[in-house]
Amino acid sequence: MRGWVAAARWRARWAGWPRLLYAGTALSLVLTAAQMVRDHPLQNVYFNLLAGPNVAQRFEMDYWCLGYRQDLAYIVAHDPRPLITVFAPPPNSAELNSQLLPPAQRARLRFVEQPENADYFITNYRNPSYRNYLYPFQVHEIRVDGRRVHSVFQRTQ
């Protein structure tokens, strides 16, 4: 902010320079706000043009694990079984996110320590060691700006 104020006070040769700076800043803020509203509740998963191509290979997309609640809500809505086992790669907050579900739905979920013991494998692609260990059937995914940030895989269909 101090740099912006200093630049606005700078007396360039062109008298319209501060107005251009104000307009550019305002446009940037409006575009960022619009993107955050559009991408809610995963508004934290965004990258500007300076991030370059292949962002998912170089950055952790949903670092805060906010999409796990949506993954779990999808599972309990589409699987009628009374007990559903779920694995999410560490570090994760899937079990913590389950607390945001209604108690009846939450009671149907069991989190396991090994992916081999789970009906569903959910991932936010944060842990690179699990990027290639996926169940065969992808049943749900969450995308932000065309980039896959969360997936739900089922062991059998």
Q: What whole-number distance in Å separates Cα of residue 30 and Cα of residue 13?
A: 28
CA dihedral 31, 35, 37, 38 (to 10 degrees): 130
One domain, residues 43 and 107: no
pTM: 0.72
Query: 52 and 94 share a domain?
Result: no
- Asked whether residue 63 is domain-assigned, the answer is no
Note whether 40 and 108 are same-domain residues: no
User: Do the domain assignments include residue 121?
Assistant: yes
3-state DSSP assignment of residue 81: coil
Same domain, 108 and 150: yes
Closest listed residue to residue 81, CA positions, set 53, 119, 127: 119
Over residues 98-121, mean pLDDT: 93
Residue count of the chain: 157
- Number of domains making up the chain: 2
In this predicted structure, what is the pLDDT of residue 77? 97
* 147 and 75 in a common domain: yes
Residues 94, 20, single domain; the answer is no
Torsion of CA 65, 69, 71, 76, to 10 degrees: 150
Residues 30 and 84 in one domain: no
Tokens 């789970």 locate to: 118
Report, as an integer, the average pLDDT of 115-137.
Answer: 79
pLDDT surpassing 80 at residue 13: no
Q: What is the pLDDT of residues 93-109, one digit of tens each?
A: 888 889 989 999 999 99
Token duo for residue 121: 């494998």
Label residue 50 by pLDDT band (50, 70, 90).
Answer: low
Q: Based on the domain organization, do 106 and 134 belong to the same domain?
A: yes
Q: Do 99 and 148 belong to one domain? A: yes
- CB neighbour list of residue 58: distance below 8 Å, 6 or more residues apart: 51, 52
> Percent of the chain beyond pLDDT 70?
76
| One domain, residues 10 and 76 | no
Question: Does the structure show a pLDDT above 70 at 51?
Answer: no
Q: Which of 42, 68, 45 is nearest to 140 (CA)?
A: 68
User: Which residue range forms the structural domain that includes residue 87?
Assistant: 68-154
Residue 150 shares a structural domain with residue 73:
yes
Higher pLDDT pick, 132 / 77: 77
Same domain, 140 and 72: yes
